Structure 1
Amino acid sequence: MEMESAIMTAGEERAETGQLTETEGMTDLARRARRATVELAVCPASTRDKALWAAAAALRESSQAILEANTQDLSLSSATSEAFLDRLRLTPERVEAMARGLEDMADLQDPVGRVLEEWTRPNGLRIRRVATPVGVIGVIYESRPNVGADAAGLCIKSGNAVLLRGGSESIHTARAIHKAMQAGLRAAGLPEDAVLIAPDADRKHVAEMLSAAGLIDLLIPRGGRSLVERVQREARVPVLAHAEGLCHTYIHAAADHNMARRIVANAKMRRVGICGATETLLVDAAIAPAILPLIVSDLQELGCTFKADNAARKIVPSLPAATEQDFDTEWLDAILNIAVVDGVDEALEHIRQHSSSHTEAIITADEVAATRFMNGTDSAVVMWNASTQFCDGGEFGFGAEIGIATGRFHARGPVGVEQLTTFRYEVIGTGQVRS
């Protein structure tokens, strides 16, 4: 619903859209979301699961409307990158995947109320640490419209309210998805204010969210470097950072060549515009002359282009030369950096210099080398003989994810329902007093 065409009363519009009225700001939305957390935090897990099942059904029922809204967003986009358009584009299969993701979340164990640890003190006091919702979570995202459904579903499951601010590229799609999520809340008798969305992509909404200390408990930015850096720089609210996906795949000397070719093709080209796509291929010097030409040929057939260091270009002279900056670039496109390295230690040193601490992978049949690589990699996710594109909440069994956390505190890697909880301590006595 466009702001200028609003003719309902504030109360009616809230019930219909869960969006801003003409007199409200994002802080008002945050207050509404905070009130909704009171009911979410205490309602039975079965009620939250019912909301997820109903939202999944609503997504399917409104699939055509969602796809039409997405077509409108695509037609208005000025982007020319196919990788960007792929992030924005929805298909019937992708809408169905969103719905299945919500159902998968509903099937997960309730993350709220879990006893994380319990012990008894010498004086008889029983102390336990219990998982509780974070509260109000703000999600600022850009072109990928499925983020709205995933974020809303994960927050409902974990007893949190969520305030969404999508990008201008996907505004119509985001609204259509949001409508389905609120239908799920209504069906379960939960407050629709548990999932709220900004009416447009005005930057002022971001500024309000960044300064909403005391109203928003956690901010999660999902987008490019400039967005994440702005949120980290200006936020007065705790931030769960999702940095760039500068992922590396290293083919060790003991790698099975056929396995390596299959994994690299998937890690780079399955979907080039997602953060789990491999951006840099490291090849051990011991096998580079044998395997690198084959991998280049494989990827060229899939439409990939390259940026290569001097050692790689000596093996495949047709490869374009890479600059140092190329190895620090998240292409999100069909472009692959290639470097030849001399052993595990040199691979790790390259990763330390250029990685964004997202996901790294080694392909090898040597367990000692794999262990050395995995222990030496300071990234949120490290893989052995698997595509980096498995760095995904759904693939981890989380139903979906709200982002990939690359920081050091609270959560790392795919952020699912358990990572959207905090905890409280419960102390149970039998009349003890402190001397």
Structure 2
Amino acid sequence: MIDYQNFILDNGLKVYVHQDITLPIATVNLLYNVGSRDEDENKTGFAHLFEHLMFGGSINIPSYDDPLQLVGGENNAFTSPDITNYYISLPSDNLETAFWLESDRMLSLSFDPRVLEVQRKVVIEEYKQQYLNQPYGDAFMKLKALAYKVHPYRWPTIGRNIHHIEQASMDDVKAFFHKFYVPNNAILVVSGNVIFDDVRRLAEKWFGPIPSGERYVRNLPQEPVQQELRMEHVEADVPSDAIYKSYHVPGRLHSQYYTADLLSDVLGRGKSSRLHKELVNKKHLFSNISTYISGSIDPGTLNIHGKLNKDVSIEEAEAGIQEVIQSIQQKPLDEEELQKTKNQAEATIVFSEMELLNRSMNLAYSALLGNPDLVNQESELIQRVSVDEVQQLAKATLIENNTSTLYYHAKH
């Protein structure tokens, strides 16, 4: 159970406080309601670029890391299609340092052209390393573009085309910042050995003077229902053939989200899952195979990907996957199998929340979804899912007309 108190500043910044006095540490988690789905399709990769730029210093604090390291703190950030999240862990006695650092870059980020050029090069190099210079690196980029035709989930967080970052102007960067990195588009969670009244005082002192931005109203194109089988074949210098599949499933706020999550776990989470037991252990079609859902706020995807064993044809491997899917569609799961899967999912939640930082992140994300109490309700929602619901969702979503498949062939 994650207990919390909350308040909202006059400028719209939402603040949540979770107290845990067991250790003399604190975390400060600042979630901005912007991800790659909010980008212009001709200027992609900006949310991820800002993940880097925000560490380039502000007008008043040229080096972000140095003051934090001096007080024993550490920090990092991540970007997703839906959010950008920055976090700091430090001794609770030095909490104000985190407020000073985070508020100053929100108020007065340095738009030093040298910083932009350095971070531009870092992102370009990251793009090359992750997508161009490693085996199967571009697989999920291609799969996204196959599964989505309208919604901005069709490009990865690093950007649809690296030229968008190469050509980003300072005016483009400033416009993106002033649109999204404002108090009324952010959620601040402070956790650990902290006192609510102290957090409120620090929030008022450091974030209170920052002016609100124009309210962002998200109006994204909705992805049409897929009506046809989509396939793409790619050949590259990779160790073995591989199959990547996507099926459209409900998004994070849908009542069937946890059903889709459990369905993916039954299919391909770990070595006790159906796909692994049947296609890796028994039939030896794949060296590895797994399943996961994207977990996105808007309607997402259930994804299957596996590497084929030598001398196994794409056709054999594809038939093996379809056989496992059909077994779930044709016969309900045993209660015992579903309960085991539920227990695994619940254990993941419990273990993750042993870490103070994870509690902060989960609370911030639940608040973004419009229900901060969701952070305490997930286990119950998982346990409510029935075997019939899993089977019905499998019948409705794991079908040919809802399938996008990338066949990744190794050059021979």
Q: Classify the TM-score, shorter chain.
A: under 0.3
Q: When the two structures are superposed, what TM-score results if normalisation uses the length of structure 2?
A: 0.26
Higher relative contact order (CA 8 A, sep 6+): 2
Q: When the two structures are superposed, what TM-score results if normalisation uses the length of structure 1?
A: 0.25
